[in-house]
Chain A
């Protein structure tokens, strides 16, 4: 018999329940508050009481209210129909909810129970299968959505029956499997999985090395991310974390994008709702919304569900990865999730760690990041979950627990700089402070020298070097004065500014500049490196600044023009002429 209980204490959304039977940690329960059920999760168990965090406001709740326990943890419902959906943090379909305002206990089904899907079997009777094996597929938007043996099935199974191709609903039985003891198990097109447990039905998880193109120059060219890689974007408020994530979600070369809006502004999600159904995905020609799923737990939605929201998103990502797809998961902001943990931990009067965050915060963060990755599936296919989270450090100070814990877990670090944002040098990623560990992976170097160019990694390192030297020259000029340093210092500084203005800076709101394909990035990087190698003759430092401003201006006009168009070539010619004015030695052209 299911365990029940009654409310005996209420402190904000932490509720104490006296229980009459067994309960387990993280078990889901419902409080029967008047006519509505309030969903909650067990977060601590005492001798006769369970402490539960309620995923709703507890206003009006009274002691003595009955509680039912469900016997399972928080689960995601996985099946066709997830793509293009807008879910709340607990995977309820926001579009199915009634009215303008969110009502307590309005829990909607994440999928369409009555919809017909055209099922095509992939397995046949007699096949040996295991958890994650592909039994068949349906077409979801443009993805071949695999119907898999439920991840919860342990051991080997034999396909006893499988339905013929045709239209089925998600709850229809599409196959019957037989286990080693000859017990039969029915399989439908949906399955449930506890969100806090990683899905591990793959063969192995090698080091990721395949370049993932984002169209953002400072990322692709300076701090590249890979399929199955991890990265994080810390930055003070207003420095461009969300704009950067939105750019990634629009442009990145992935089969599916999952956006977890975790404790941030509702209007930012509305922007996606408004724009993505209109914008084209350049790779497929379909609308961007067709490859996107949104998990929205904005800052005004229940705090306790914030934590759940990132796990729900990760579980969906892992589910689609098991179909052999490339998934990009974006979470904005992981700091809000950490703060939700802090609020709860404080209410439970746990011993606080640094800045009152829970002691085990670093472990929680690194466990989460470790769920990303590139995998070889058991059937020889590959899939990946790339995860990039933002971090909102208190006071913009990177020496705070969430940033520090994340730095240990993520392999790419995209530091947004307040100074760059203030001077509108967007995206404000500090290319010198930021890093991608993947640049050091021999597998990666090998991959890009074939896929992009043998010189690619060397070029990147050159460019980075120029930035460092430019920075040093700038400091010297500031200390010694414009005329207190040799003219070359000005030249070194302005050459680094060319890279800054032309490669690093990118206008996210310009149609053409917003996304730069890798071949164009390569072309432009070669171009500015050539300018850097060119020797110029300047009589006086006052000549340097206006000269390079001219160069930068023309190069920027090139960035705004369609690649290799008439206009682009016109500016390119203009550039040649400017360069010839002052160049000492003829440069080789790319």
Chain B
């Protein structure tokens, strides 16, 4: 980022706090970028001539005579096809040793799509994972996070989903990820021969936390370029949104804002919604789908970050270790894809919705039976059948290492119904049983 000759250099900083500095200046625009001793900063408040700047990398060592230059624009990204295959930091600067991208400069965090111009999402995204395709079917234009405890393999599952999804572009927004995770993504994408479909904006644990506030908007601006200008189907991966929200709270805290629940800013809902709502099916065929990760602490989804996320996204995918089979599964109880009804039974076989619901209900009966055992009670014959069913169901359908076609998933479920239950116990519509579940009693 260079300064040009006519830009005025200010050299008198009036106040400095942990994250911000203030100085007297005129003609400055709200949200404008600036350089403070070469560190990138952004205007967050203007009171008369007193301008407050948030310095992304922190204010350590900033002197009162620091050189401040206003850049005259909000944060920008140069967009063009050259973005493909490249790795950038939170400011959109290359970190892969390659050249600067030549392209049209766009301000990140741009305007929203007019809701009447959106199209209803209708294209199924097949992942081969039955916990997703059968129970929580994803659709292009959807926004959905993984809810997972930090020790679960969420980045691996997300990367697998991304690679199988047949997207034209995959854009990774990494926030506060470890360097190891960054290298994991990099290797995986390279080995999959997918590197030219992938663009990454990465803020690792080695970078200042506040910088990561720019990452999602960078990723989404790049996504908009490919989805709007090139009508491509773009998949945006955002990991870890909990660390993004933590950065928001650091900033609001340092600016003395009144915190609401869990020390999060009162605007957390709006802040997150502005990002997630960039997921869209455009009228001309392009789409942006967002798959994110929200790490939980101790599985607590009532914490403000997962709670607000759940209120914004179109469902969530819960990862849980199923001890009975020793594998990680997509938990069918707490997981939900809200857009699934747009495709299941329509783009998939007509028995899909009822089969899916019946299997989950029977799995719930097994969970109740388990509680009975824990309380020292005897099991009924039905309980025992439900428990055997649950084990097969978890192994053959819920585990994340499954990779099969959707019809096979539905057939597998019928097979398990037939093995353990009567028609009445499944509660499936008679005409569907006749057509697809003939073998069942």
**A residues neighboring B (CB under 8 Å):** 8-11, 16, 57-64, 86, 94-95, 97, 99-104, 236-238, 263, 265-267, 269-271, 273-274, 296, 298-301, 303, 336, 339-340, 342-343, 346, 352, 355-356, 392, 394-397, 422-424, 478, 481-484, 509, 541-542, 545-546, 549-550, 552-553, 556-557, 560
Contacts and interface: CB of A to CB of B under 8 A. Distances in A.
A94 B312 contact: no
B112 A100 contact: no
Nearest to B139: A267
Contacts of A340: 270
A300 B424 contact: no
B273 interface: yes
B377 A395 contact: no
25 contacts: A8-B48, A9-B47, A10-B45, A11-B46, A58-B30, A58-B31, A63-B28, A64-B26, A101-B112, A238-B315, A265-B312, A266-B112, A266-B113, A266-B115, A269-B115, A298-B115, A298-B277, A301-B112, A346-B257, A394-B304, A394-B307, A422-B333, A542-B380, A550-B424, A560-B429
Given A11-B45, A58-B30, A60-B30, A346 B258 contact: yes
Interface stretch (B118-126, B172-180, B188-196, B403-411): B118-126
A265 B141 CA distance: 12
A299 B267 CA distance: 12
Contacts of A296: 115
Contact of B424 (A303, A342, A343, A553): A553
A539 B224 CA distance: 67
B430 A557 contact: yes
Contacts of A549: 424-425, 427
Contacts of B440: none
A271 B312 CA distance: 16
A300 B274 contact: yes
Interface stretch (B9-17, B77-85, B357-365): B357-365
B381 interface: yes
A549 B422 CA distance: 10
B149 interface: no
B298 interface: no
A556 B424 CA distance: 11
B74 A237 contact: no
Interface string B305-344: 0010011101110000000000000000110101101000
Contact of A299 (B258, B260, B312, B377): B312
A392 B282 CA distance: 29
Per CB-CB distance, the 3 closest pairs between chain A and chain B, nearest first, are A299-B273, A300-B277, A395-B302
Nearest to A352: B258
Nearest to A349: B258
Given A8-B48, A265-B277, 4 more contacts: A9-B46, A63-B49, A270-B115, A483-B377
B5 interface: no
A54 to B, nearest CB: 10
B307 A423 contact: no
A478 B303 CA distance: 30
Interface string B337-378: 011010000000000010001001100100000011001111
B240 to A, nearest CB: 19
B111 A103 contact: yes
A227 to B, nearest CB: 30
A238 B47 contact: no
Nearest to B269: A339
A511 to B, nearest CB: 12
B358 to A, nearest CB: 10
A182 B126 CA distance: 74
Nearest to A395: B302
B229 to A, nearest CB: 11
A482 B378 contact: yes
Contact of B118 (A270, A299, A397, A481): A270
Contacts of B273: 263, 299-300
A556 B378 CA distance: 30
A236 to B, nearest CB: 8
A299 B270 contact: yes
Given A99-B114, A238-B338, A478 B424 contact: no
A514 to B, nearest CB: 12
B74 A356 contact: no
B333 to A, nearest CB: 5
Nearest to A336: B269
Name, among B46, B116, B310, B341, the residue most crowded by chain A CB atoms within 10 Å (CB to CB): B116
B422 to A, nearest CB: 8
B280 interface: yes
B120 A395 contact: no
